[in-house]
Amino acid sequence: MATEIKVPPLGESVTEGTVARWLKKVGDSVKIDETLIEFETDKVTVDVPSPATGVLSEISAPEGANVAVGGLLGVIAEGAAGAAAKPAAATAPAKVEAPKPAAAPAPAPAAASAATDLDRSGPAARKLVAENQLDATSIPATGKDGRLTKGDVLGAIATGTAAPAAAPAPAAPVVQAREAGPREQRVKMTRLRQRIAQRLKEAQNTAAMLTTFNEVDMTAIMAIREQYKDAFEKKHGVKLGFMSFFVKACIAGLKELPAVNAEISGDELIYKNYYDIGVAVGTESGLVVPVVRDADVMSFSDIEKQIGVYGKKARDGKLSIEELTGGTFTISNGGVYGSLMSTPILNPPQSAILGMHKTQKRPVAIGDKVEIRPMMYLALSYDHRIIDGREAVTFLVRVKENLEDPQRLLLDM
């Protein structure tokens, strides 16, 4: 009896995906619930388990194939795998004959003649030729057997008939050889990368996107973290990071300015009275945005724990469709990669996104004095169709105020 392997349900709005990798080959034994396939959608990579124990008898959808939900991926037959084929005998390497060294090129006649004349000359003549940098072949030799004498050299110098020695030819430049390998490589975009490209371009094409900037003094938050980090981790089992402060500061601003937490649907505006905050996470496959749901009723420790769980799942490729859908507002942190300033792109259908950046010490005016403070640039990109400039700037100022004076968050001010 054979069992078919089919694409499982992938969540709302996901109708198909791509076979990224088969973990078994035809003829391999498989066990029930053992992962057979890494199946890639435009949101996440899903592990497809084996529906039965047996032998993988057929692969209907090879790697790279697009398959709809419920489509056939392969077939599992009953029984055990057959004996593995014997490996082919290793072929003896062909004997390679070492190349013979090339014969040295014969010296030019003039150079050979010059060397011969000098070799047969006395040491005094050779010394004079070298000191005066003369061409020995241009001096008439009167000595026995055509030898050049000291007198011959002195006479040539006195009469000016001796030619100077030829300058040596410059050495040819050494060109570093390029490493072997292709100059270009074509790689098919993953479904996740295609979806990211589609959504980002959609945001640019449909939204009237604008970005406003501000900067925040991180002194107060850094002092709180330094004072309470050990006690916080001991009590809650998680480190106190910056992100929980930013989530809380943004929620306070969203409550005051509901348009920043709204979205456009056709000719209607949808104002949301809940706060599901997307936290952008970079992975090897691309940017994903898991959602911290109902973050307004969560504590600092709950937010830090949830973000930690999402970060690990994102790195392992284990985020579910449900964890990536929804969201009313997004926070993106380019500072972890060293970015000092950027203009983040909206995450449709949301109407705003906050960009965090690198904290860097800079001289700033505090009253009438200049002090060195840890500063961070903030960027709010927003859809101008629904959010006015006054609302966007006011929201960002509220975020700045809440971060620079964190007690405001505790007093709900």
Distance of CA 61 to the CA centre of its chain: 30
- On the 0-12 / 13-18 / 19+ scale of CB atoms within 10 A, 100 is exposed
Please report how many Cα atoms fall inside a 13 Å half-sphere around the Cα of residue 99, on the Cβ side: 3
- Residues 384/259, Cβ–Cβ less than 8 Å: no
Q: Which residues pair with 380 in a beta bridge?
A: 212, 354
| Rounded Cα–Cα distance for residues 350 and 259 (Å) | 11
Torsions phi, psi of 281, nearest 5?
Answer: -130, 125
- Residues 251/330, Cβ–Cβ less than 8 Å: no
Catalytically annotated residue among 47, 384, 405, 412: 384
| Rounded Cα–Cα distance for residues 246 and 134 (Å) | 83
CA angle 121, 124, 129 (to 5 degrees): 75
The reply to whether 384 belongs to the active site is: yes
Torsions phi, psi of 67, nearest 5?
Answer: -135, 135
Closest CA to 350 of 294, 391, 289: 289
Structure tokens belonging to residue 410: 């505790």
The helix or strand, by DSSP H or E, that contains position 236, with its residue range, turns out to be: helix 219-236
CA distances from 152 to 115, 127, 139, 141, 375 (A): 17, 13, 7, 6, 84
- Residues 276/295, Cβ–Cβ less than 8 Å: yes
**Which residue type sits at 405?**
D
The reply to whether 388 belongs to the active site is: yes
Catalytically annotated residue among 117, 388, 405, 412: 388
Tokens 């490729």, residue?
Answer: 317
| Rounded Cα–Cα distance for residues 157 and 132 (Å) | 9
Closest CA to 25 of 64, 67, 56, 63: 56
| Rounded Cα–Cα distance for residues 73 and 96 (Å) | 48
- Active-site amino acid positions: 384, 388
